[in-house]
Amino acid sequence: MRDIAYMKRKIDEDEDMQKADVNKNTIASQVRRYFEANNIDNWIEITNGIFSFAFAVTFIIETYFNDRNPRTPHAEAPEWLNIVEIVCILILGLDYITKLFVADNRLLYFFSTQSLITYISLIPASLISF
């Protein structure tokens, strides 16, 4: 009997939490609901993956233009490579800020694994590029 009462109370709490989320009228909750309703969050993840891959490829290509490389002592990276890297940094940074903005608990999101990986990869590249 206790288990049934406990389960009923948990179900009621979950329903209350869902109703509270629906009734929130903050901008972040409205944006989150809009993203979920139109599957925009899935497209953002796909775009994030494409730009992360492009960001990694630009880094790999730039290593061949390093001054310390004896095969190419005075070669400089092409300008288009720097532009692609800056665009990737800006788009991934915008994605990070958007996810931080629409998160239910921003502090919890900030210390999540996905957030820390994005933060650790963006900050050094941003400092070098800008």
Query: What's the confidence (pLDDT) of residue 119?
Result: 86
Residue 92 in domain: yes
Residue 5 in domain: no
**CA–CA dist 126, 94 (Å, integer):** 13
Written as one letter, the residue type at 113 is T
Instruction: Provide, rounded to the nearest whole percent, the portion of the chain with pLDDT above 70.
Output: 82
pLDDT tens digit sequence for 2-15: 677 777 777 777 76
Query: What's the confidence (pLDDT) of residue 117?
Result: 86
Q: Is residue 69 over pLDDT 60? A: no
**CA–CA dist 16, 23 (Å, integer):** 10
**CA–CA dist 101, 95 (Å, integer):** 10
Query: What's the confidence (pLDDT) of residue 93?
Result: 92
Query: What's the confidence (pLDDT) of residue 97?
Result: 92
Locate tokens 């502090």: which residue?
A: 107
- Which residues span the domain enclosing 79? 28-129
Residue 3 in domain: no
Angle value at C-alpha 16, between 13 and 21, nearest 5 degrees: 130
Assessment of whether the complete model's pTM goes beyond 0.85: no
Residue 48 in domain: yes
**CA–CA dist 118, 126 (Å, integer):** 12
Query: What's the confidence (pLDDT) of residue 73?
Result: 60
Residue 21 in domain: no
What does the DSSP 8-state code read for residue 72?
Answer: S
Residue 114 in domain: yes
Which residues have a Cβ under 8 Å from the Cβ of 104 and sit 6 or more positions away?
Answer: 21, 32
Residue 71 in domain: yes
Residue 17 in domain: no
Angle value at C-alpha 10, between 5 and 15, nearest 5 degrees: 125
Query: What's the confidence (pLDDT) of residue 67?
Result: 61
Domain count across the chain = 1
